């Protein structure tokens, strides 16, 4: 999760993609979004977050359930503008999976837009 937020804030598409398995799934506002590959993931995030987004901080990560090759995480984060004001605090359920020896996020359900 820390690597994901660091790459997101840096705008580092390659490092960000390394924190995700593709296809990658996100359920939000009753809509399932599927990214087959990383080509549009970062630009899609910027569209969702809005023009005012500057960075996001990871507020907390709690393990809900875990087994050898999968972990469910309760993730809370805050989006910020460049002036430091909050755009909102959000909660998400992330599923991190070990696929072919690589731990990365496979899917999530988010209350963030």
pLDDT in tens, 75-109: 999 999 999 999 999 999 999 999 999 999 999 99
Mean pLDDT computed over 29-38: 92
Using a cut of 0.75, tell me whether the model's pTM lies above it.
Answer: yes
Query: 35: part of which helix (H) or strand (E)?
Result: strand 31-35
pLDDT number for residue 17: 93
Mean pLDDT computed over 63-81: 97
Task: Write down the mean pLDDT value for the chain.
Answer: 94
- Fold designation for 2-110: Nuclear Transport Factor 2; Chain: A, (3.10.450)
Question: Residue by residue, what is the 3-state secondary structure of 69-106?
Answer: CEEEEEEEEEEECCCCCEEEEEEEEEEEEEECCEEEEE
Mean pLDDT computed over 6-12: 93
pLDDT number for residue 15: 94
pLDDT number for residue 43: 84
Domain map (residue ranges) of the chain? 2-110
Mean pLDDT computed over 64-74: 98
pLDDT number for residue 3: 96
Confidence of residue 7 (pLDDT cuts 50, 70, 90): very high
What are 33's two structure tokens?
């979004």
């Amino acid at each position: 999760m820390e690597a994901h937020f660091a790459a997101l804030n840096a705008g580092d598409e390659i490092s960000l993609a390394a924190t995700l398995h593709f296809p990658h799934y996100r359920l939000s506002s009753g809509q399932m979004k599927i990214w087959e590959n990383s080509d549009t993931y970062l630009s899609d995030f910027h569209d969702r977050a809005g023009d005012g987004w500057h960075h996001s901080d990871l507020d907390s990560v709690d393990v809900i359930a875990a087994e050898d090759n999968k972990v469910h995480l309760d993730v809370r984060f805050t989006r910020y503008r460049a002036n430091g004001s909050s755009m909102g605090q959000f909660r998400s359920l992330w599923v991190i999976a070990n696929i072919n020896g690589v731990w990365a996020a496979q899917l999530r359900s988010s209350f963030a837009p």
